[in-house]
Structure 1
């Protein structure tokens, strides 16, 4: 199981040039494909990982790996998740330090990565929106309101409080009828 954990996080990390949000979506899909979702609650671990200080990728890798195979599984998952960016940076460093003709190559690499990241972020957002819609129109409306408030520059905690309050108030009223 340790090799499966290592290669799962290695593969997800290779695709997750966009950082934590892309990584979360990929890991969630892969855990469901492997039917490991009965062994760990990925959504709860994502919530915990995003609230901890530090990079989301290493936090989430450790938490999922630890749930699947103990402390050794957690460390194996972190190594699998950290190895691809380390190797990529190690290989790209000479190109980045040489400001000559290789700069076009490096720029092209990052533009290609940007397109992939946008696709994965869109797919993750789509799954979250669809999940909110499946909980009902009230949950979807509170999710949309929170998103709009955060995009308008309102502090995320205030937006969450408004969305949560709206969800609780309107859900409570519709369940009583």
Structure 2
């Protein structure tokens, strides 16, 4: 299991050019695919991770790995998640230093523009899955999710948007249960 944890986080880290948000989407999907979601509640661990100081990727890796296989699993997960960026930088830095400044800049820009497409796809798929899950909880939950999203898009403070959506969900969901 330790090897599987390491490989899962290694693979997810390779795809995480978009940072923590993309990493969360990849890890969540992979854990559900492996049916490990019965062993750990990823959504709760994501909530805990976002409140901890430090990088989301290493915090989430450790918590999920520890939940799956103890401290050894946590260390395997963290190692798997930090190894790909380290290897890429270790081998790419000398290459870029040997190129002239303009060629290095063009290479880096091209790399990130290419990664932008992959990141956009992961973000879209994660958002789509969240919308689907909100709809599965019922029409009221789906409507409150849409309302919170619209409020945040029009630059309402996220805490206010969350409060409005939460209040709407609590008030209207209670009326649905009473009816």
Scaled by the length of structure 2, the TM-score of the pair is: 0.93
Which residue pairs with 2:125 in the alignment?
123
Which residue pairs with 1:87 in the alignment?
87
* 1:91 Cα deviation after fit: 2.9
Cα deviation code 1:7-47 (max 9, x no counterpart): 10000000111011111111111112222111111111111
RMSD of Structure 2 on Structure 1 (CA) = 1.5
Distance 2:160 2:59 in 1: 25
Cα deviation code 1:47-79 (max 9, x no counterpart): 111222221111110110000111111111011
Match runs of 1:135-150 below 5 Å? 135-150=137-152
Local SS of the residue matching 1:100: helix
Match runs of 1:2-17 below 5 Å? 2-17=2-17
**Structure 1: 5+ residue stretches without partners:** none
Distance 1:74 1:14 in 2: 18
Distance 1:4 1:17 in 2: 22
**Structure 2: 5+ residue stretches without partners:** none
Distance 2:140 2:149 in 1: 14
Match runs of 1:10-159 below 5 Å? 10-94=10-94, 95=96, 98-159=100-161
Give the number of equivalent residue pairs: 177
* 1:98 Cα deviation after fit: 4.6
* 1:176 Cα deviation after fit: 1.2
Distance 2:148 2:136 in 1: 17
Distance 1:98 1:75 in 2: 39
Scaled by the length of structure 1, the TM-score of the pair is: 0.94
